[in-house]
Amino acid sequence: MTDKLLYSINELPVTERPRERLMRHGPEALSSAELIAIVLGSGTQSAPVLQLSHQLISRFGGLEKLGQATVSELCEVKGIGEAKAIQLRASFNLGLRLSKQCIGPKYKIEHPLHAYNLVKDELVNERRELFMIVMQDAKGIVIDHTVISIGTLTETPVHPREVFYPAIRNKAVSIILIHNHPSGDLTPSKSDHELTRRLISTGRMVGIPVNDHLIISHQGYLSMRQQTKIFEELS
């Protein structure tokens, strides 16, 4: 039997084409490859779009890793130019932003685990160190969270001014510091300790206390308030 992937979409019966099936049955009825094919729009002469979609998923080892691929990495796949790579990156990022909003408009953080659940999808598989803050109101409800600095595999530069500017602008009452360790090791480094001390002190000066500093990796998270004495020493 001829493999369906060898056909171009135009050669498929109208009722079997991804767009038409989505219209009639909704996106839930389509495979990930078919949804990607809709985003790409077209393939090449040697690789019809459905085949190209399957190749992408196979090349990166699944949908999750494909969603993390950079534009340059996507362009290494034959048939994926810069325009298609940008379309894919934009689509995956929209999905990520939607998943963040699904947490709810009044997400209250009462335990480090709540903060971890809020941002883990953004940080757990990130290959670079990212430093972000979670801004809270007087009741501990999340106002917003944002990336402050993007670094390398081992470090990210952070300045107190960049940390507290968005907090002041958003009228935050307190903040939680969060950064990831791409290596997987959750042990706070010497610079992690120094930065935490500096930001706790700055928070006191500007009237926006630091509630915690979380380190996140694929192994889970570490709360510096719970696991170190920094917050006790500076209290």
Shared domain for 116 and 162, answered yes or no, is: yes
If one compares 64 and 215, the residue with the highest pLDDT of the two is 215
The reported pLDDT for the residue numbered 72 is: 92
Segment 58-86 mean pLDDT: 90
CATH number at residue 48: 1.10.150.20
> Which run of H or E residues covers position 220?
strand 220-223
Shared domain for 52 and 92, answered yes or no, is: yes
Last residue of a domain, which of 69, 100, 131? Answer: 100
What tens digit of pLDDT does each residue of 152-195 get?
A: 766 667 999 999 999 999 999 999 999 999 999 999 999 999 99
Report the alpha-carbon distance of residue 166 to residue 77 in Å, rounded. 39
Report the alpha-carbon distance of residue 223 to residue 110 in Å, rounded. 13
Segment 109-115 mean pLDDT: 93
Range of the structural domain that residue 32 is part of: 4-100
- CA 111 to chain centroid: 21
Place of tokens 């890793």: 65
Under 8 Å between Cβ of 131 and 156 = yes
Shared domain for 221 and 125, answered yes or no, is: yes
Shared domain for 87 and 131, answered yes or no, is: no
Segment 137-159 mean pLDDT: 86
Sign (positive or negative) of CA dihedral 61, 62, 65, 71: positive
Last residue of a domain, which of 44, 68, 100? Answer: 100
Shared domain for 63 and 117, answered yes or no, is: no
Place of tokens 């135009």: 10
The reported pLDDT for the residue numbered 1 is: 32
Report the alpha-carbon distance of residue 98 to residue 136 in Å, rounded. 20
Shared domain for 153 and 93, answered yes or no, is: no
Residues above pLDDT 70, as percent of the chain? 90
Which parts of the chain fold into alpha helices (H)?
Answer: 18-25, 32-40, 49-60, 63-68, 71-75, 82-101, 112-123, 160-169, 190-206, 224-227, 230-233
Whether this model's pTM surpasses 0.75 = no
Shared domain for 135 and 225, answered yes or no, is: yes
The reported pLDDT for the residue numbered 146 is: 92
Look at residue 103 and tell me whether its pLDDT is greater than 90: no
Last residue of a domain, which of 62, 84, 100? Answer: 100
Helix (H, G, I), strand (E, B) or coil at 149: strand
Look at residue 6 and tell me whether its pLDDT is greater than 80: no
Place of tokens 């009722």: 15
SS3 content of the chain, % helix, strand, coil (to 5): 50, 15, 35
Confidence of residue 232 (pLDDT cuts 50, 70, 90): confident
The reported pLDDT for the residue numbered 226 is: 92
Report the alpha-carbon distance of residue 100 to residue 96 in Å, rounded. 6
Average pLDDT, the chain: 87
| Angle, alpha carbons 42-25-104 (nearest 5°) | 95
The structural domain count of the chain equals 2
Shared domain for 92 and 110, answered yes or no, is: no
Strand 210-217 to 174-180 pairing: parallel
If one compares 67 and 209, the residue with the highest pLDDT of the two is 209
Report the alpha-carbon distance of residue 36 to residue 191 in Å, rounded. 42
